[in-house]
């Protein structure tokens, strides 16, 4: 059964127009909200979504401000917290659409995983059946140049809208040559980040361990054993601190790259996601 597609915009907390899209079935058994990572956009999850097309699972995703087809300067947000506020707006929009008719899951990748985590600390968790964290940004593995690391406060004060490169190269994301060729041609991807965003997520790294016990949703973590972008060990430690009674983690070989859904092992990863979702759908009945 093929998806019905929808594209549109919704208003962020400050009325910025944010692009979103959906892939839906007439009789879904579940829905998944995706929050994407820094520099990418909602269309980057097409392989994941297509894998589940025959399983009657709806997907909803949006482009962060300054990303994809959403409005805003590329890679810019005055504060990292603005992403969280936007995400809560989108949760509210999709929660009302689903209206409790079937289980609702949330999936956050990389920076989207950190946004999702911070959102859950403010949201009504009972609206969701479970969460999936894909290589969540709970710490950095990629090396940040000293002038950015130590000059971020000054840059934010003097040139708050200045965006700089994010040190990420495509070979860190996937080992699939076809995927890498797509990245090179993808005009919606970018490599920019503002000092406000960088300072915000670094600040959150310090506080996460003391806060995440308040998250009690059933949770799945998928991550490379040695992610080239996020700190895999930090992913494990923060995940271990969740207050969830149901926690499942899958760590993939050290050669696995950051975007597991687009890496050469994606079929294995999709299978692990599918089993987790099926189990949680069963638990909801």
Report the largest interatomic distance among the alpha carbons of the chain, rounded to a whole angstrom. 55
Residue with tokens 């076809």, as numbered in its chain: 178
Q: What pLDDT was estimated at residue 182?
A: 96
- Name the stretches of the chain with pLDDT < 50: none
Please give the pLDDT value at position 157.
Answer: 73
Looking at residue 281, what is its pLDDT?
A: 96
For residue 71, the model assigns a pLDDT of 97
Each residue's pLDDT tens digit, 121-175: 999 999 999 999 999 999 999 876 665 666 667 766 766 776 766 778 999 999 9
Give 191's contacts (C-beta < 8 A, 6+ positions apart).
Answer: 39, 75, 165, 166, 168
- pLDDT for residue 254: 82
What would the pLDDT profile of 268-280 be if each residue is shown by its tens digit?
A: 999 999 999 999 9
Q: Which domain holds residue 28?
A: 4-284
Residue in 9, 6, 20, 36 with CA at minimum distance from that of residue 190: 36
51-68: string of b/e by CB count within 10 Å (b at 16+)? bbeeebbbbbbbbbbbbb
- CATH number for the domain spanning 267: value is 3.40.50.1820
Q: Provide the domain count of the chain.
A: 1
Write out 181-242 in H/E/C secondary structure. Answer: HHHHHCCCCCCEEEHHHHHHHHHHHHHHHHHHHHCCCCEEEEEECCCCCECHHHHHHHHHCC
Q: Which pLDDT value is given to residue 165?
A: 67
CA distance 65 to 78: 11
Task: Express as a percent the part of the chain with pLDDT over 70.
Answer: 93
């Amino acid at each position: 059964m093929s998806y019905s597609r929808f594209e549109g915009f919704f208003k962020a907390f400050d009325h910025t127009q944010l692009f979103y899209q959906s892939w839906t079935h007439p009789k879904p058994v579940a829905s998944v909200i995706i929050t994407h990572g820094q520099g990418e956009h909602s269309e980057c999850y097409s392989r994941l979504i297509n894998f589940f097309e025959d399983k009657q699972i709806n997907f909803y995703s949006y482009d962060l401000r300054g990303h994809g087809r959403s409005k805003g300067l590329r890679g810019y947000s005055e504060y990292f917290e603005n992403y969280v506020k936007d995400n809560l707006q989108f949760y509210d929009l999709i929660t009302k659409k689903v209206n409790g008719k079937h289980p609702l899951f949330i999936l956050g990748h990389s920076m989207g995983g950190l946004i999702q985590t911070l959102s859950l600390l403010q949201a009504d968790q009972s609206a969701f059946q479970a969460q999936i964290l894909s290589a969540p940004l709970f710490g950095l593995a990629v090396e940040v140049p000293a002038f950015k690391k130590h000059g971020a406060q000054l840059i934010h004060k003097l040139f708050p809208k200045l965006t700089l490169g994010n040190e990420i190269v495509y070979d860190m994301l996937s080992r699939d040559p076809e995927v890498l060729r797509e990245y090179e041609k993808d005009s919606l991807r970018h490599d920019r980040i503002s000092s406000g965003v960088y300072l915000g997520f670094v600040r959150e790294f310090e506080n996460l361990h003391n806060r995440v016990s308040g998250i009690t949703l059933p949770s799945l973590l998928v991550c490379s054993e040695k992610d080239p972008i996020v700190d895999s060990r930090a992913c494990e430690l923060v995940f271990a601190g969740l207050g969830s009674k149901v926690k499942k983690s899958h760590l993939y070989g050290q050669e696995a790259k950051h975007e597991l859904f687009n890496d050469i092992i994606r079929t294995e990863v999709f299978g692990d996601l599918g089993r987790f979702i099926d189990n949680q759908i069963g638990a909801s009945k």
